Amino acid sequence: MDDLLDFGTILLVVSAGLVLAIAVRLLAARVGIPTAGLLLVVAAVASDLVDRLSTILSFQDVQRVATLALVVILFEGGSKIGLRRFRGSAAPILALGIVGTFATAGLLALAVHVLLDLSWTASSLVGAALAPTDPAVTFSVLAGKEVEGRSGTILEGESGFNDPVGIALMIGMIELATHDDASWLSVVWEFLREMGVGLAVGVAGGVAIAAVIRWAPFPDRTLYPVAVILMVGTIYGAATVAHGSGFLAVFVAGILVGDIRFEARRAVRAFNAALGELGELATFVALGLTIDLAFIGDEGLWWRGLVIAVLLGFVVRPLVVGPLLSVMDLTRGERGFVVWSGLKGAVPILLASLAVVAGTEYAAETYGLVFVVVLFSVVVQGSLVPTVARRLGVPLEDAPPPAPSPQ
């Protein structure tokens, strides 16, 4: 009986929390602020006011919630791009995803070390955590919008591709920070292994999903969404067990199956979109509950985080992304839009939590700094995306409804 009561309590708290998150989502839409920013603030304030909330989830729990959400979001994001759109923008996506991520991490680490007088280890962890953009925020801001030209595809592709790169980089940096015998070769090896295995598993998984939806019709159409999401979970698990990037694997699989037309395509997309939305809400609530606003204030992390946010958004990203896009077939407005819209979100906070769990130097402060940067990115940059698009002459219109699937 006590077990049933405990389970009922957990179900009550989780369900009520997500209902409140949906209410915040509606409020955010009314005031024109991306949901992620408002959820982070509300959850962080709640955890400071109610001590029990700050201990209800461990960092490992938060990492699991964020991982499950990102698996769905990345697959859905990849399938939204599709192979045809990816081919047309592969060069800038790969340039920003690989070169851009490493260059951003290195340049930001240098700036943090020089301006904030942090050690090279702490500066490198901050740089690695903040290098990738975030698919949950990017897809959310661009959801239901159609961006003329290739800039929308580049942003979505960058946010999906640089997450696996950023995670591999962060894992390598943590190895350097916590093992005396580790070297930069371990970072390179970690990156190559995770990318290679993830890519191979993703291609094989995408081919397998395509074969199932084409050649194994189900008697009940409602089984398609369930079957697809279970195969996506299998792809992530297989890549992770093989010491590869599960995130890259599901993103690649999504790209490969994105253009396939089949009977239950709309049902699958709607199911994945709903799961992704739920996962985004749960992730930002969970991340917000781990934030200690009092600690951030006591340690003076607000002004330091704002310095980093301004450096990242107005100096580092333009210096890195501008030259990489200068050789691409894009207008000046499209390049400026891509530079502005490199939004930070759940992934940087997730990466910072890896440093906390590993017990690295300056880990708690790094977590607080990353939160401040993410909050600035989401609230300021994210809210201004439509305005920036309009000023730069990049059409950002409501996307037409999808065509019905063939019967």
Structural domains of the chain, ranges and CATH numbers in brackets? 2-398 (1.20.1530.20)
Q: Which two tokens stand for residue 264?
A: 């239950």
pTM of the model: 0.85
pLDDT attached to residue 16: 74
On the CB side of 237, how many CA atoms lie within 13 Å of its CA? 6
Q: In degrees rounded to 5, what are phi and psi of residue 392?
A: -90, 0
Q: Are the C-beta atoms of 34 and 284 separated by less than 8 Å?
A: no
pLDDT attached to residue 1: 59
Which of 154, 176, 142 minimizes the C-alpha distance to 100?
Answer: 154
How far is Cα 58 from Cα 80, in angstroms, rounded to an integer?
Answer: 33
pLDDT attached to residue 145: 62
β-sheet bridge partners, residue 396:
147
Q: In degrees rounded to 5, what are phi and psi of residue 150?
A: -100, -5
pLDDT attached to residue 142: 66
Q: Are the C-beta atoms of 166 and 351 separated by less than 8 Å?
A: yes
Which of 382, 289, 310, 393 minimizes the C-alpha distance to 344?
Answer: 382
pLDDT tens for the chain, 407 residues long, are 566 776 776 677 677 777 877 777 777 667 666 777 778 888 888 888 877 777 777 888 888 888 888 899 899 889 888 898 888 888 889 899 889 999 999 999 999 999 988 888 889 999 999 999 877 777 667 665 666 667 778 888 888 888 888 888 888 888 887 877 767 777 788 788 888 999 999 999 999 998 888 777 777 777 888 888 999 999 999 999 999 999 999 999 999 998 888 777 788 888 888 888 888 888 888 888 888 898 998 888 999 999 999 999 999 999 999 899 887 878 888 888 889 888 888 888 889 988 888 888 888 899 999 999 998 998 888 888 888 888 888 776 655 554 444 44
Q: Are the C-beta atoms of 202 and 248 separated by less than 8 Å?
A: yes
Q: Are the C-beta atoms of 56 and 270 separated by less than 8 Å?
A: no
β-sheet bridge partners, residue 52:
none
Which residue's entry shows tokens 């017990």? Answer: 359
How far is Cα 73 from Cα 219, in angstroms, rounded to an integer?
Answer: 27
Residue type, 271: F
Q: Fill in the DSSP letter of residue 403.
A: P
How far is Cα 313 from Cα 374, in angstroms, rounded to an integer?
Answer: 11
3-state secondary structure of 147: strand
Q: Which two tokens stand for residue 105?
A: 């991490």
**In degrees, to the nearest 5, what angle opens at C-alpha 385 toward C-alphas 384 and 389?**
115
Which of 274, 319, 304, 378 minimizes the C-alpha distance to 41?
Answer: 378
Would you tell me how many other CB atoms lie within 10 Å of the CB of residue 407? 4
- Which helix (H) or strand (E) segment holds residue 249: the answer is helix 246-257
Q: Are the C-beta atoms of 76 and 144 separated by less than 8 Å?
A: no
Longest pairwise C-alpha distance within the chain: 67
Burial category of 150 from C-beta neighbours within 10 Å (exposed 0-12, middle 13-18, buried 19 and up):
buried
Burial category of 218 from C-beta neighbours within 10 Å (exposed 0-12, middle 13-18, buried 19 and up):
middle
For helices 265-289 and 59-88, angle between their N-to-C axes, nearest 10 degrees: 140
- Which helix (H) or strand (E) segment holds residue 396: the answer is strand 396-398
Kindly compute the dihedral angle of the four CA atoms of residues 309, 314, 319, 320, in this order, to the nearest 10 degrees: 50
Which runs of E-coded beta strand occur in 20-159? Answer: 145-147
Would you tell me how many other CB atoms lie within 10 Å of the CB of residue 132? 31
